[in-house]
Amino acid sequence: MTRRVLIIEDTPTIAKVQKHIAISCGYEADIASSLAQAQALMSEHHYFCAVVDFILPDAPLGEAIPVTVNAEIPTIVMTGNIDKRTREIVDKYAIIDYITKENKQAYHYLKKQLTRLPRNEMVKVLVVEDSRHARLYICSLLYRHKYQVLEAKDGVEALEVLQQHPDISVIIADNEMPRMKGDELCAEIRRLYSNEDKVIIGVSGSDSPHLSARFLKSGANDYLRKPFNPEEFYCRLSLNVDMLDQIATIRLQANTDYLTKLPNRRYFFEHAKKYQRIRTVNNQASQVAMIDIDHFKHINDNYGHDAGDDVLVALAQAFDKFFPEQLLARLGGEEFVVYFNDNSEQENTKQLELFRKYIELNSASFTTHNIPFTVSAGFVSMQEPKIDELLKEADNKLYEAKELGRNRVIL
């Protein structure tokens, strides 16, 4: 579903730039050059958010702001400047943010905010606060920016909620709470979850000058003193969630093969070792297949390196289709590996043989160059092996498959 943004702006060049930014962030965008035009558009469409100019020909004093806010459209206000009177008006309404149209940076910032809003819909935030009033206030700030929100009344309940929802990525914790204080909760969360997975923001109304340091030393990423300014709350929250995003991106890049987008060798070894331990405890054999394209060098020599790359990408897609539940990786070059989650050796080898046959019969239709190719595979099943041994054995079987004429699976 494409999200729609309403741009209310009477200067055509600025409206055009904003529309361009919105489209580059994946939105559809409508422009209204007056409040009246905006109201007409709002009666026709559902808007995910709005970018509203403070001064419009038929709304010179920010009168367009309550119109979008009251229609529950998350609103970003663009202003020429932010003098005292403008700020007073802007502060009255539950807007997402205001941006001063001073320079190019303002448009970079708008892009950031438009990118964050749909991202926030995927971010789960746990609010831990014993005061119902304060809890609801923080939740309302979070809902305004489209975060998913969960609540807990104290640290003990927070740990239970975290166990039930392991995908929570932000915890906002008050300090003064019954049963378990915020800094104690923080330390316990850090014992269980790493900095790379969860952000903790401590909040407290205490005057103690040492509390912020205590929170940070217990593992919090940030600290806010109550009562806090919503603008500062959003800035700190966004920066912390952005940091989690950046860590996730770096992690993904480090674990993904750049060409096929399959997991890479590093990811495979890390996860195969974990699988291995579980299988050993459960007294289950480990089953692995090494798969390699036959005469791949000829494909590169005859059709060029780019065509060879196309074949690798197409083969990776076929892997994903045939082995959606297994641990897959491109180990390097034209060599792939499947670590089977399923226990049945019969089922696994049957699936492998089906895959080989599927490639033989369909590969010509995979790529733009219609290059037919085949694959060879070596399969092993071993009790309590080391990963290196398992791969070596599978590689020996693969070598045998090549020696015997290729396009076959050797068990």
Q: Can you give the binding site for ligand GTP, defined by CB under 6 A?
A: 259, 292-297, 300, 305, 308-309, 312, 333-334, 402, 406
In order of 8, 175, 276, 297, 389, the CA distances from 282 in angstroms are 62, 43, 10, 42, 20
Q: Residue type for 384, please?
A: E
Nearer to ligand GTP, 10 or 294 (CB): 294
Nearest CA to 169 out of 119, 213, 235 is that of 119
Which residues share a beta bridge with 201? 172, 222
In order of 211, 262, 291, the CA distances from 329 in angstroms are 47, 6, 10
User: Minimal distance in Å, beta carbon 260 to ligand GTP?
Assistant: 9
Nearer to ligand GTP, 197 or 335 (CB): 335
Nearer to ligand GTP, 184 or 309 (CB): 309
User: Minimal distance in Å, beta carbon 307 to ligand GTP?
Assistant: 8
Give the strand pairing for 199-204 and 286-293: unpaired
Nearer to ligand GTP, 183 or 334 (CB): 334
Nearer to ligand GTP, 87 or 298 (CB): 298
User: Minimal distance in Å, beta carbon 374 to ligand GTP?
Assistant: 9
Distance (Å, rounded) from C-alpha 129 to C-alpha 135? 5
User: Minimal distance in Å, beta carbon 297 to ligand GTP?
Assistant: 3
User: Minimal distance in Å, beta carbon 110 to ligand GTP?
Assistant: 39
Look-up of token digits 């909620």: 161
Distance (Å, rounded) from C-alpha 391 to C-alpha 96? 53
Nearer to ligand GTP, 157 or 292 (CB): 292
Distance (Å, rounded) from C-alpha 55 to C-alpha 34? 10
Distance (Å, rounded) from C-alpha 301 to C-alpha 296? 9
Distance (Å, rounded) from C-alpha 167 to C-alpha 177? 24
User: Minimal distance in Å, beta carbon 402 to ligand GTP?
Assistant: 5
* Pair 62, 54: CB distance under 8 Å: yes
User: Minimal distance in Å, beta carbon 330 to ligand GTP?
Assistant: 9
Give the strand pairing for 49-53 and 97-100: unpaired
User: Minimal distance in Å, beta carbon 158 to ligand GTP?
Assistant: 47
**Residue whose Cβ sits closest to ligand GTP:** 308
Nearer to ligand GTP, 178 or 332 (CB): 332
Distance (Å, rounded) from C-alpha 119 to C-alpha 186? 25
Nearer to ligand GTP, 234 or 296 (CB): 296
* Pair 147, 136: CB distance under 8 Å: no
